[in-house]
Amino acid sequence: MTNAKQNIAWRWATLLFFLGTGFLMLMTFNDYGVSWDEYFRWRGGEAKYEYYQALFAGDSEEASRLRGNTDHYPGFFDLNLALARRVLPLDLVATGHLGTALFGFVGLLSVYMIGRNVCGPPLGLLAAVLLALTPRYWGHQFINPKDIPFAATFALAMYALIRVVGRPALMNWRTALVFGFAAGACLSVRIGGMLLFCYAGLFLGIQALVVWLGQDRRWQTLFRETRRLICWLLIAAVPAFLMLIAYWPNAHRNPFSATADTLSMVTSFGWSGKALYRGELLGAGEIPWDYLPAMLGMGLPDLWFFVLASALLVLLLTRGKALVDITYSREMAVALALLFAAIFPVAYIVYKGSVVYDGLRHVLFIVPMLAVLIAIVTAWIWNQLKQISRRLGMAWLVILAIMALFTSWESIRLHPYEYAYFNRLSGGLAAVGNQYDVDYWGTAYREAVDIMLADVQANDLLAGQSRPVRVAMLPPKAKIFERYESIAQPPMAMVVLFLPDGFELVDPDANPDYYLGIRRFGFADMLPGETVGEVTRDGLEFARVTRMNP
């Protein structure tokens, strides 16, 4: 097959992949329950919308008052979602999930573009497939309104940055503006996007040194490269700053103090909840340093670790020659930049002892970079195995494909709780689910409501009843305080939004007819009654539906 035909084939394969992925998202985005954070992000978007409404109406006094109701997050996701809710003919939950899924799709596209920019369309497509086959990413992209928009825009900005790594001639005002707008979108989701400018300064600064060392090593050359770097960063900073200000009401009074305060808060977040780790419920100050590395080790697909193990095997088969033969190239420079971007945040969090919880979601933005790196390693292994034995290479590809199918099957079995995935190396969900937080965002409430509705219909409980069916979603506060003293409680929206007419959410002490208890914090066990159904995956209970005694 000629190169032209190969390029056409890869274009069609890429088009079919993204069309199929987009169609699958559209068919399933409304299957998911409401996550713990969605309610707060929706509320934050409405507060920002009301502020801008007053601001554009010219009521500065009312706008100033409403600005005090907004949170510390910029509103690139929240505010746009509030606008979408006023345009799209969808309900609150569907609009929120579709909006998050759109960002998840942007993340897949960004990974493809990074991979294509490094080694061509085949590697770009492989990277996108690897990311789509990551259950944690796939599940989060429907229910996580904080970390998925950040991860997607971070990946998009990394693509804009990677384009000029190893290509000093491309450092012009056009590429600076592209990076600036992409980084501005990331900053406008979370202020932590400032890390992108740190990466840009580091990667392009090293590039300037390489250019200087590779030329005449005159100080004039170093000055020229440094000036070009500073100008590029300043041009990029303009659209990024303007986007941030446009979407961040909290910064309209004083952008510099707002940025400093927010950075201080996100680097030393005062979380006071509890996380289940290795069978123990630990407070924020008790979570050990290895929590995040362990969550990454158990939450990323087995397929990725098989690729890394295969790379070690290739090095053994070639007695290290495959590594020695690697020469410096732009591809190598990009791979090192991606590797640093993937490792540094985890290393910094561990070093600082920052508070992390809820699995790996706080570093979800490194997963797209890891997908590209795994794709690069996969391509390298295939090239090496072909030289050793083509049959060996084909056998390895077959094993790789089988493992990809197994990962897909695990996602299908977990649906719509893909974000609760644990890989087989850890023992799988059934083996380790009782030792760690699984459905930590309580999305199983939606399925629990469906089970309750089926029981009500089966027993014809609404017939002739003058009052609504009373539903409780929390145990009595006395029982919570007895066990934990104080603990975060899920917002009522996680159940209320799915209750039809004839049902009402009540306090657990108000003689409810049904109790919907989630597994987290042992809520399911705190109000006894007759169990009428459970939400389970792989034999592990996520939520329980209890019919209360009169």
Given pLDDT bands bounded at 50, 70 and 90, which one contains residue 266?
A: low
- Looking at every residue in the chain, the average pLDDT score rounds to 90
Q: pLDDT tens across 22-52, in order?
A: 999 999 999 999 998 999 999 999 999 999 9
Residues 78/19, Cβ–Cβ less than 8 Å: no
Res 87: pLDDT: 94
Sorted by where each begins, the domain ranges of the chain are: 445-547
Average pLDDT of span 451-460: 90
DSSP 548: P
| C-alpha to C-alpha distance for 173 and 184, rounded to whole angstroms | 16
How many whole angstroms separate alpha carbon 295 and alpha carbon 147? 16
Work out the average pLDDT over 386-401: 91
Contacts of 75 (CB under 8 A, 6+ apart): 44, 45, 48, 188, 247, 248, 249
pLDDT at 336 over 60: yes
Q: Residues 516-526: pLDDT tens digits? A: 999 998 899 99
In which band, very low, low, confident or very high, does the pLDDT at 260 lie, cut at 50, 70 and 90? low
pTM for the predicted model, two decimal places:
0.94
147-162 and 173-187 helices, crossing angle to 10° = 170
Angstrom distance (rounded) from CA 223 to CA 208:
10
Contacts of 409 (CB under 8 A, 6+ apart): none
The candidate with the shortest Cα–Cα distance to 338, out of 308, 375, 311, 309, is 375
